């Protein structure tokens, strides 16, 4: 079946540090890959996505590249800010035989950024 | 734009009580789903629906029922609440269709449920 594995947190960084959050997946076929962010007390919001191999998703300084050969979609940011403190979820979306699709989420990685 | 609206935001139930968590979306999305979020376990899919009149089970469906009589609404029913169902519940919706698989999910604000 489909699954998503992401690095355990929490991750604690100082402001302006480089961020990497690892994500690997298992899926049949060709899923779409996503990163969602959850700020305290809120629901999840889409951060970026990639729909095919070698695509790079980017938003708000965050980037992730769809690597089919390593089944990975690692999230990176060159210089984090305190406001980036949140929980980050890697997810995949794959079609179902019944029609439509199903989205599977990783366990989430909590990021703390210190001033 | 209301997006995805969940009610209530908070709820405390006694063991054995039943209740319905409401979810409504105004984006004409075909696909709706319910997740529960527990510490260290991320989001787990409870039930989902690919359109009005069609529902299916996710990873953790036991103890929950859903129905989809309209495109807009997708209520989640707890039949007999148990402490193990203490969690934060999120409803999500997105465009769907066999040819449009690559779409983002829009989430509600969540319902924090405590079963005592």
Write out pLDDT tens, residues B12-26. 999 999 999 999 999
Instruction: Give the model's confidence band at B1: pLDDT under 50 very low, under 70 low, under 90 confident, else very high.
Output: low
How does pLDDT run across A24-49, given as a tens digit for each residue?
A: 999 887 889 999 999 988 889 999 99
Asked if the C-beta of A2 comes within 8 angstroms of chain B's C-beta atoms, the answer is: no
Asked if the C-beta of A40 comes within 8 angstroms of chain B's C-beta atoms, the answer is: no
β-strand B42-51 against B54-57: which pairing, if any? antiparallel
- CA nearest B45 in A: which residue? A104
Rounded to 5 degrees, φ, ψ at A75 are: -95, 135
Give the mean pLDDT of A101-106: 83
Look up residue A42 and give its DSSP letter. S
Contact B104, B3 (CB under 8 A): no
Instruction: Give the model's confidence band at A16: pLDDT under 50 very low, under 70 low, under 90 confident, else very high.
Output: very high
Q: Which of B93, B87, B75, B98 is nearest to B23 (CA)?
A: B75
How does pLDDT run across B36-52, given as a tens digit for each residue?
A: 999 877 889 999 998 89
Contact B42, A105 (CB under 8 A): yes
- In the numeric block, which tokens belong to residue A38? 């959850």
- Do A51 and B102 count as a contact with CB atoms less than 8 A apart? yes
Helices (H) then strands (E): counts for chain B: 0, 11
How does pLDDT run across B76-86, given as a tens digit for each residue?
A: 999 999 999 99
* Nearest CB to B104 within list A42, A46, A98: A46
Contacts of B110 in chain A (CB under 8 A): 42-43
């Amino acid at each position: 079946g489909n699954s998503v594995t992401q690095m355990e947190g929490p991750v604690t960084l100082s402001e302006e540090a480089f961020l990497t959050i690892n994500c690997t997946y298992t899926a049949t076929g060709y899923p779409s890959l996503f990163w969602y962010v959850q700020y305290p007390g809120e629901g999840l919001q889409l951060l970026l996505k990639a729909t095919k191999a070698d695509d790079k998703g980017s938003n708000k300084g965050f980037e992730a590249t769809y690597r089919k050969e390593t089944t990975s979609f690692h999230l990176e940011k060159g210089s984090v800010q305190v406001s980036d403190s949140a929980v980050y979820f890697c997810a995949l979306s794959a079609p179902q035989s019944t029609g439509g699709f199903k989205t599977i989420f990783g366990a989430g990685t909590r990021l703390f950024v210190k001033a | 734009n209301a997006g995805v609206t969940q009610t209530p935001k908070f709820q405390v139930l006694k063991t054995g009580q039943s209740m319905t968590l409401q979810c409504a979306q105004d984006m004409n999305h075909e696909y709706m789903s319910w997740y529960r979020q527990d510490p260290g376990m991320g989001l787990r899919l409870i039930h989902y629906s690919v359109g009005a009149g069609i529902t299916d089970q996710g990873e953790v469906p036991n103890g929950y029922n859903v129905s989809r009589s309209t495109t807009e609404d997708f209520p989640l029913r707890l039949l007999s609440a148990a402490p193990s169902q203490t969690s934060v519940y999120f409803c999500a919706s997105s465009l769907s269709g066999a040819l449009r698989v690559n779409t983002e999910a829009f989430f509600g604000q969540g319902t924090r449920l405590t079963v005592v």
